[in-house]
Amino acid sequence: MDGLDEYLSVLQKLPLRRKQGLLARCVMRAALERASPPDFLYATTSAGRYNPENVESIYWSEDETVARFEYRRYHKGAETYETFFCRYSVHVVDLGDSNVVSALGLNSSDLWAHWRTATTPTKCQILGQAISRQKRFAAIRFPSDAARVAGETGFNYVVFKASICDPSFIQVETDPGVPIQRWPMA
């Protein structure tokens, strides 16, 4: 399976799986300080492992350790970075579940495909594009390549801004329960 319409069809049949808790993200301090107030939910439209170009999304890690692996993978210097967290409750397409991977027609080589050098969108990027065009699921939970390279197991999430709607949410909080940024806007 590799077509957008095929993924949209399968997404309608997948059982809903809500995940909730805290997610972590590491960001260069200078990047956060460029905006006042800081934009903790800055979403990019640049291509990523699970989104093609022009699909707005934000990547998070399931815990602080995986967030550090992800950050250090591309930032080798002594730059100062910030780790922050978001509270979330979303329906996810869980690629940690072999039944979901199979239902989507994916295999392990698809999950680890070299998306940066691909000449066309990868299957996982097309899956992300499909998720961004519907409202049943707001995120993909997927194995962290940075954790794998470090000899660990960990997961990341990619949340699609266009797909997140009440009662699903992600929010960055200053104090427990006091959101400073939230998708969707409250």
Helices (H) and strands (E) counted in the chain, each on its own, are 7, 7
Q: Which band of pLDDT confidence, cut at 50, 70 and 90, is reported for residue 2?
A: low
| Whole-number pLDDT of residue 76 | 78
pLDDT in tens, 62-112: 999 999 999 998 887 777 888 989 999 999 999 999 999 999 999 999 999
Report percent pLDDT > 70 for the chain: 98
Tally the C-alpha atoms within 13 A of residue 71's C-alpha that lie toward its C-beta: 22
**Phi and psi torsions of 152, nearest 5°:** -120, 170
Burial of 120 (0-12, 13-18, 19+ CB in 10 A): exposed
Can you tell me the distance from the alpha carbon of 98 to that of 93, in angstroms, rounded to the nearest whole number? 11
Residue 38 Rama label (left phi>0; alpha psi -120 to 50; beta): beta
> Taking all residues of the chain, what is their mean pLDDT, rounded to a whole number?
93
**Is residue 150 scored above 70 in pLDDT?**
yes
Structure-token pair, residue 135: 């409202």
- The reported pTM is 0.94
Mean pLDDT of all residues in 160-180: 88
How many residues are recorded in the chain?
Answer: 186
Each residue's pLDDT tens digit, 28-61? 888 878 888 888 899 999 999 999 999 999 999 9
Q: What integer is the mean pLDDT of 12-18? A: 96
